[in-house]
């Protein structure tokens, strides 16, 4: 993706679920939404993906990053 995208999603919010790594479709969608101006919240796929997704919080100025592990009520970051 280049810098040619108009900020057509400026002021909009997007949730991208299940980023695994920089090769995942979810990552590509998140990057495209961000480049189009959306405010992002993302989830990571599993514990293996977490170290990849955590640094995106600062570099992409994410509003939220969450675990996508449904059913684990012991963590406040769980999405049900």
State the 10-residue block means of pLDDT for the chain, 80 residues long: 74 91 93 93 87 86 74 48
Secondary element (H or E) of residue 35 = helix 25-35
Structural domain span for residue 63: 13-67
Domain tally for the chain? Answer: 1
Give the side-chain half-sphere CA count within 13 A for 60. Answer: 24
Judge contact between 50 and 75, C-beta under 8 A: no
Whether this model's pTM surpasses 0.85: no
Residue pointed to by tokens 């108009």: 6
Per-state percent for the chain, helix, strand, coil, to nearest 5: 25, 20, 55
pLDDT the model gives residue 28: 95
35 within domain boundaries: yes
Note the pLDDT of residue 77: 47
Ramachandran class of 11: left when φ > 0, alpha when ψ lies in -120 to 50, beta otherwise: left
Residue 5 lies in a domain: no
């Amino acid at each position: 993706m280049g810098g040619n995208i108009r900020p057509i999603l400026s002021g909009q919010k997007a949730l991208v679920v299940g980023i695994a790594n920089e090769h995942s479709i979810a990552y590509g969608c998140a990057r495209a939404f961000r480049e189009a101006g959306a405010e992002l919240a993302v989830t990571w796929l599993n514990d293996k993906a977490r170290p990849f997704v955590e640094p995106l919080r600062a570099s992409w100025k994410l509003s939220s990053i969450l675990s996508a592990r449904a059913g684990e009520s012991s963590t406040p970051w769980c999405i049900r």
